[in-house]
Structure 1
Amino acid sequence: MRFKIPQSVLVVIHTAALEVLLIRRADASAAFWQGVTGSKDAEDEPFSATAAREVAEETGIDADAPGCTLTDWELENVYDIYPQWLFRYAPGVTRNVEHVFGLCVPEGTPITLNPREHTDHRWLPWREAADWCYSPSNAEACLLLPRFASIGAGIPS
């Protein structure tokens, strides 16, 4: 078994109107809604490449498509890995570093979920999206969206 690298991304996918895409995990409770998350495939993989790859794998969105803007928020969360997922990491690894990005997409962007990873999706206003997030870091990122969205949407701040 290849262990996961404890360096990951969280991508808040949103529209210019601050509607946030949440996806429901297939391997967790029905209440586990989140943004796009995922670990690096290699230690030297840039976080931006991890973000674009995970977005494509989990939602079918091409982060480089016209009208899409991937923005590095230059924020990191360090948290304890949920006990049910510790087996995915090398023995003794208990914490993860999560790098946060925003991805502004055009309204109506189609979503194609990977059914092995996610079972449903919904678009919600940013404050409501925060309330739906299972993970505190996901909720906090939704609440920070207005501060960072102008950068990703090309709107002067």
Structure 2
Amino acid sequence: MTYKQPVSVLVVIHTPECKVLLIERRDFANAWQSVTGSREGDEALAETARREVCEETGIDAALYRLDDWQRVNEYEIYEVWRHRYAPGVTTNAEHVFSLEVPAELPVTLSPGEHGRYRWVDWSQAAEMVFSPSNADAIRMLPVRTGH
């Protein structure tokens, strides 16, 4: 079995007006989130972010401005997902990025991973996501974008 690396990205996709794209997990009812995913091999974290955005939403991140926040969140991996990591791995290092798109783009979800998507105002998005680090990143969005 190939284990996931405990190094991941969180990508907050947003419009210039701070409308945020949220996607709902299939394996965790009512669990809304931004794009997330683990690094594969030795790929650069920006490449991980672009790959995950494409895999989870169908959006080509190379067409838009991807911003590395130079912020890393360390958190305990939820018990339900620990089997995906090597034995004894309990924490993950999550690197935060944002991707500004010009408007609320149509999304093509990864059918095995996500069931629905919504574009919502940043303040509502911060309340909807299940992950505290995701909520924190969304709350920082207006300051980071100057809105």
One fold, TM greater than 0.5?
yes
Q: Which residue of 2 aligns with 1:9?
A: 9
Q: Which residue of 2 aligns with 1:38?
A: 37
The amino acid across from 2:91 in the alignment is R
Question: 2:78 matched to 1:82?
Answer: yes
SS at match of 1:64: helix
Q: Which residue of 2 aligns with 1:116?
A: 112
TM-score between both structures, scaled by the size of structure 1: 0.91
Segments of 5+ residues of structure 2 without an aligned counterpart are none
The amino acid across from 1:22 in the alignment is L
Segments of 5+ residues of structure 1 without an aligned counterpart are 151-156
CA distance in 1: counterparts of 2:71 and 2:141, whole angstroms: 12
Q: How many residues align?
A: 147
Which stretches of structure 1, 4 residues or more, deviate above 2 A after TM superposition? none
The amino acid across from 2:32 in the alignment is W
Q: Which residue of 1 aligns with 2:61?
A: 63
- What is the CA-CA distance between 1:34 and the residue it aligns to? 0.2
CA distance in 1: counterparts of 2:145 and 2:27, whole angstroms: 30
> RMSD of the alignment, in Å?
1.1
TM-score between both structures, scaled by the size of structure 2: 0.97
Q: Which residue of 2 aligns with 1:25?
A: 25
Question: 2:97 matched to 1:101?
Answer: yes
